[in-house]
Amino acid sequence: MSRQAEKEAFWLGRRVFITGCTGFLGSWLTAALLDRGAVVSGLIRVREPESELVRSGLISRITQIPGELLDYALLKQTLTDHHIDTVFHLAGQTIVGVANRDPVATFETNIRGTWLLLEAIRHTPTVRGAIIASSEKAYGEQSDLPYREEFALQGRHPYEVSKSCADLIAQSFAHTYGLAVAVTRCSNLYGGGDLSWNRLIPGTIRSILNGEQPVIRSDGSFRRDYLYVADAVRGYLMLAQNLTEPGVRGQPFNLGSGCPVSALEVVRTIVALSKNPEIQPIILNEVVHEILDEYLSPSKAEKAIDWRPQYTLAGGLKEAMDWYKAYLNS
C-alpha cells in the first residue's frame, strides 16, 4: 500500500468520539470523518435543528450520545462501551460576549469540562489519543506578533482565561500521564454552517445578500487571522493521524493563515464578491475588552505535519457566500 493510500485508509473503521459534533466546526469534522469511513459517536447536549449536522441528515449516521460534558460517568461509559480510539474535544462556550456576561458557566464548561474528559481518557485503555480545541484567544494580548506556540498563555478576560486554562490542562495531562494529546489553537474560522450572525463574516454575508448595510462592531481597524473551516478540518485530521509521533504528542499547534486582515478589509472583500458593490458598512465602534490585533504563525504545523492553508480569504469567502445564498433562499 502506498503512503498516500495509507493516509486515505487511516480512518476506515476507526472509532471516534466528538464533543461538540453539532457545532459549526463539529459538523464539518463529523462529515469529513464519515466520508473517510470512521465510526463516529457524538456527545449531544441539545439537538439544534439548524445545526448543519442535523440539516444535512448526517446526524443519523452517527451514534448519538445525549448528555452533558460535565457528566464524568457518561464520558467514561461512552469511551469504554464504544471502544473509542480517537477523541476530538470541540465542545465549549465559544462566544466572547456570553463569557463576559456569565463567566462562571463559561469556566465550568470550558475548563472543568476539559479536565473531566481528559480524566476519562486517562482511564480508558482503548483511547489512542485526543485533539483538544483551544483558540488563539488563549494567548491573551501579546506584545509580539504573530503568536507562536512557545509564547506564554496570558488570557485576562473570561473567555481568554477559559481557553488558556483548558490549553494548559491538556498539556499537563500529556506531559504528566503520557497521553497522546495535541492542542489546536485556531484563528477565526468561517464557512458555511456558521449561523452565529453576530460574528463578522456570517453577519456581513447575510446583510449583503439581503441588500442591507453590514455592521462592524469595532472601528474596523481590528486585525484578525481568518481560516476557512475546510482547512481547519484538514489540520485536525492530520494532527490526529500523527498523535503518537514525538513532534506532535503533547504539543500545541497554531492553525491559521498567518495573514492578518482588518474587519473593514473583510467586509470590503465580501462586498467585492457580491453584486452590490455600492453597499457601505455601518461602523459602531463599540467594542470593549477585545484585543486589537491577533494573528498566528502556522510554521510549527507546516514543519511537523506539512499542513498549510489551501484557501485564500477570497476563495474561502466565495464558497461561504455560495452556501449562505443557498441556505437563505431555502
pLDDT attached to residue 5: 59
Catalytic positions, written as ranges: 159
pLDDT attached to residue 228: 98
Contact 229, 28 (CB under 8 A): yes
C-alpha cell at 50: 439548524
* pTM, rounded to two decimals: 0.95
C-alpha cell at 187: 484563528
With vertex at residue 233, the alpha carbon angle to CA 156 and CA 136, rounded to the nearest 5 degrees, is: 15
User: Burial level of 306, CB count in 10 A (0-12/13-18/19+)?
Assistant: exposed
Task: Please list the residues that pair with 86 across neighbouring strands.
Answer: 16, 129
pLDDT attached to residue 48: 87
pLDDT attached to residue 107: 96
Residue for grid cell 453597499? 279
Q: Where are the beta strands (DSSP E) in the chain?
A: 15-19, 39-44, 63-66, 86-89, 129-133, 181-186, 188-190, 215-216, 223-224, 226-228, 252-255, 261-262, 282-283
| Ramachandran class of 220: left when φ > 0, alpha when ψ lies in -120 to 50, beta otherwise | left
The residue ranges of the chain whose pLDDT is under 70 are 1-8
C-alpha cell at 53: 449536522
